[in-house]
Structures are given as structure tokens and as C-alpha cells.
Amino acid sequence: MPELPETQTIAAILNKNLAGKNVLQVQISKDYKALPSTEIFIKAVTGKKIKSVKRVAKNILLELNNGVRILFHLAMTGRLLLWNEKVGSEKWVKIILHLDNGTKLTFSDMRMFGKAAVLSPKQTEELAARYGPEPLDKNTTPQQLFEKIKSKRTNIKNALLDQVVISGLGNIYATDALFLAKINPLTKTSEIAPEDTSRLLDAIREVLEESIKFGGSTLSDKMYVDPFGKEGTYQEHFKIYSKKNCPVCDGKVNFMKISGRGTYFCPACQPIISA
DNA sequence: ATGTTTGTTCCGAT
DNA sequence: CATCGGAACAAACA
């Protein structure tokens, strides 16, 4: 579930609450495989101090004082919770980190699509290098995005979901950003002009920043909550995602699957660019 | 019972 | 050979 805003929200809260804490003990569920192996994971993490928590694309990285990183990727249904008296029982817990302030961080994952791994400093660099530009990085330019988009031969919606083109977008924010930029999701990347990319990057930044402001999106399944169990409210501010009628022209919103992902767009406000 | 789901990766097809 | 897109991964819900 989590895309960039949700991952960012989690990383910021964890950084605030975990920096400087020591990991006293690590518990891993028998039915779960941490990477590269559960044994190596436990050995690498136990007794280490957490220096900081950062986000890279949709990954959450806990930097330890020996330079090793714990990587969590939440995929569709992963959760990281900081347990206290308010955050109650949680199912599907796979990993528990016991901290020296008496609290614990749990990683749970209902559908097991997520990932927990330890990375060496070199592997951490390699990870970041695999991803496209970070949309919220001020140094990211429309020209960069344009070149990345032009390297793909598919529609713009698929291109935006490719983490090599741009980091951190998922189905919801790609859908909303295309609506704000007035670009039809089926537009071939070959038809995208530099000025479209400029509008698109602005739109991407707008939806991501707004969502971060609202603490991300929590859908009806309640899968996403922050580490203290709090839901996001960006779903009350969706631009087009999940809507029946266009908020701009009130026309009927089109729904279709693009590469298997539910896509919403307004055919009037997001017309196909003809060659 | 069938169809749906916010992500990523692998494999077959092109 | 590179790239695209469907299927698969697994579980809950309507």
C-alpha cells in the first residue's frame, strides 16, 4: 500500500523516535525469512544503535552505528508499528525489535509481499543507484524526467509506475498527478512533450506534498496507518482516484485497468494527445 | 464464489 | 538482445 507519502511519514516518525536507541533483542517469526537470512539479520542488528531512519524510494532504511542498514519494504500490506500503551494487538507480526527504552518496533505483513533485509554500506549505495530521480528533491528537473520517460516505450501511466523513471510513485499518486497535469494515462511516452513533463513534475510534487501534509492515504481496508496507529486523510482529497465524477467538469470519470492497475481519468479534462 | 486490492519481480512474448 | 506486460506472490473483504 504505501507509496512515497506514506513511506515518508513512517520514516520521519521512526527517525524522531528511534534515533539513538539501541536494539536489545530481535525476534523473527518462524514462518518468515529475513534477508539475506534470518540468522545473518539477527546477528547484524542485535546490540546495535540506530543512528537515523531515512526513506529511499518506497524503502525505509534504519542506519545502524556500524554502517549497516536495516531495509524494510512494505509493498502492499506491510506495517511498521511502534508499540506503546496506545498501539494495541497486531496480527501478522513477522519481526520484533526490542529497544532499550522499553518499547518495540514491529514489522508485520499480511500478504507477505514486503521485505526485510540488512544491507552493507556498499549495498545501500547500489540500492539508491537503482532508482530514478526523487520527485521532491529540488535538484530533480523536468528535463531529467523527460529523458527518463523518453527511454520507455509504453504509456505514461506505466512509465510513472516504473521506479527507474521516477522514485516513489504508485498507482494512486500516478493517477492523481496525471489528472492534475491534464495528461491522459494512455498517452504514449513518444507523444509526451517537454512542456508536458514540466507540468507533470509540478503535479507530482503537488499531490505528494499534499498527501504528506495529510499523513498519507488510508483506504477502506485500513492497511496503512502510521507507526502510532494513526490513519492518513489524503483519501478525502483524492483528485480523481476512486471518483465517479470529475471534480472539475462533473463529467463521468472513466475507469479502466492499465497493466492490471485500476486507473481513473476524465476523458474531457485529460484528452488523448493526437500525433 | 468471484472479483478486487496502494508493489515488485520473474518469465514468456515481441 | 532488450523491453514490455501479464502472471504470480497471498490474504482479506464485499
| pLDDT tens digits along A39-94 | 999 999 999 999 999 999 999 999 999 999 999 999 989 999 998 766 656 778 99
Q: Do the Cβ atoms of A64 and A84 come closer than 8 Å?
A: no
**Confidence (pLDDT) at A57:** 95
**Residue A28 cell numbers, joined:** 523473527
What is residue A38's three-state secondary structure? helix
Instruction: Evaluate the CA torsion angle A83, A236, A58, A38 in order and state its sign.
Output: positive
A206 is catalytic: no
CA nearest to nucleotide C4 C1': residue: A154
Q: How far is the CA of A175 from the C1' of B3 (A)?
A: 22
**Confidence (pLDDT) at A1:** 63
**Confidence (pLDDT) at A112:** 87
From A48, A58, A69, A148, active-site residue: A58
| pLDDT tens digits along A179-192 | 999 999 999 999 99
The nucleotide closest to A175 (CA, C1' atoms): B6
List, for chain A, all residue ranges whose pLDDT scores fall below the cut of 50: none
Length of chain A: 275
**Confidence (pLDDT) at A146:** 96
Domain ranges of chain A: 4-129, 142-265
Task: Read off the pTM.
Answer: 0.95
Spatial CB neighbours of A43, under 8 Å, sequence gap ≥ 6: none
Containing A142, the helix (H) or strand (E) segment is helix A142-150
Q: Work out if A42's Cβ lies within 7 angstroms of strand B.
A: no
The answer to whether A4-129 and A142-265 have equal CATH topology is no
**Confidence (pLDDT) at A88:** 55
Query: For A4-129, CATH number?
Result: 3.20.190.10
Q: Which CATH number fits domain A142-265: 3.90.180.10, 1.10.8.50, 3.40.50.1360, 3.30.1860.10?
A: 1.10.8.50
